[in-house]
Amino acid sequence: MKIQERTGAGAGRSAAPAQPPVGDRLPTPPRERKPALAALAVLLILLGALGATTLVLRAGDRIEVIKVTQDIEPGDSVNKDNITSVMVAADNGVNYVKWDQRSQLMKLKARTAIYKGTVVVGQMFAEGSTLPAGKAVVGVALKEGQYPADIKNGDTVAVYNVDTSGKSTGSGASSSAGGLIVDNAKVQKRADDSDATISTGNLSLTLLVDQTDAAAVARAASAGTVAVVHVPGSGN
């Protein structure tokens, strides 16, 4: 009787799933480590930081130099009214004229025309006369109708003697009445009365010409018989 009761009690129990022993579980594979890739990543981060630092340092290495604010003709000098300061990146390969050197620069003469907006370098200036060999500077005074209205510094012009009296102003074909004197003079400086209260229409030009033509131009200018016209070309 006892045996049957035990058997009946065991028959009413639900069968529990068998659990595998702890010692039978599969081992977890070890995580693979790649020290070379980690070192490379660290190196790239360091290189990037170094590059950024270098750029910042270079951007901060700037100097104050001179820039012209008006056209400067050959033989002219800078002054406090035609220059300003500007910051540029320092470069040992460029002979910039620093802003604190402007007083020394004012004692020098421009070798060639220097245009508005140009940053000055030392090679643009020299001591003493800067006229090219074989050239001369002549001033002429013109009345309205003897010059183009749009004439400006740096233009190339032809110079004529417009004397209608039939008298020669000197020897040679270039100085004869009504003839061409110079075919490619360079306008170095223009001065007119545009700022005056009453404009007379007169214009004064400083011209760069060959020495051989200077006397004829001066004679015609003295007689008031000079006229200039634009011609193609970049001048002398």
Do residues 141 and 121 both lie within one domain?
no
Q: Find which of 68-72, 83-87, 107-111, 151-155 is predicted with most confidence, using mean pLDDT.
A: 83-87
CA distances in angstroms from 141 to 70, 126, 129, 182, 224, listed in the order given: 23, 29, 24, 16, 7
User: How much is the mean pLDDT over the chain?
Assistant: 77
CA atoms of 67 and 99, how far apart (whole Å): 9
Residue 153 sits in the same domain as residue 71: no
pLDDT more than 70, % of the chain: 69
- Domain assignment present for 92: yes
How far apart are the C-alpha atoms of 154 and 75, rounded to whole Å?
Answer: 13
Confidence bin at 12 (pLDDT 50/70/90) = low
Domain holding 98, by residue range, is 62-126
Check residue 16 and give its pLDDT: 54
Are 113 and 154 in a shared domain?
no
Q: How many domains are contained in the chain?
A: 2
- 119 lies in the same domain as 161: no
pLDDT band at 157 (very low <50, low <70, confident <90, very high): very high
Would residue 1 count as lying in a domain?
Answer: no
Q: Please indicate, yes or no, if residue 33 is contained in any of the structural domains.
A: no
- For residues 182 and 130, give the distance between their C-alpha atoms in angstroms, rounded to a whole number: 21
Calculate mean pLDDT across residues 165-171. Answer: 52
Q: What is the mean pLDDT of residues 168-187?
A: 67
143 in the same domain as 226: yes
Q: Could you read off the pLDDT of 109-155 as tens digits, one per residue? A: 888 778 899 999 988 888 876 677 788 889 999 888 899 988 888 88
Q: Indicate if 145 and 215 belong to the same structural domain.
A: yes
d(Cα 113, Cα 110) in Å, to the nearest integer? 7
pLDDT of 205 higher than 60:
yes
**How many angstroms separate the most distant Cα atoms in the chain?**
167
Which pLDDT does position 235 carry in this prediction? 42
**Residue 168 belongs to a domain:** yes
Q: Give the per-residue pLDDT at 198.
A: 45
Token pair, residue 227, equals 């006229």
pLDDT at 102: 93
Residue 20 reports pLDDT greater than 50 = yes
Is residue 226 situated within a structural domain?
yes
In a domain, 26, yes or no: no
Supply the pLDDT for residue 40.
Answer: 75
Q: Are 83 and 102 in contact (CB under 8 A)?
A: yes
Question: 155 and 222: one domain?
Answer: yes
Could you tell me if 175 and 216 are in contact, meaning their C-beta atoms sit under 8 angstroms apart?
A: yes
Q: pLDDT-derived band of residue 93, with 50, 70 and 90 as boundaries?
A: confident
CATH value at residue 97: 3.90.1210.10
- Is the pLDDT at 159 greater than 90? The verdict is yes
Whether residue 195 is contained in a domain is answered as yes
User: Tell me, what's the pLDDT at 36?
Assistant: 74
- Length of the chain measured in residues: 236
Cβ-Cβ contacts under 8 Å for 179 (sequence gap 6 or more): 160, 161, 173
Name the pTM for this structure.
0.48
Check residue 41 and give its pLDDT.
Answer: 77
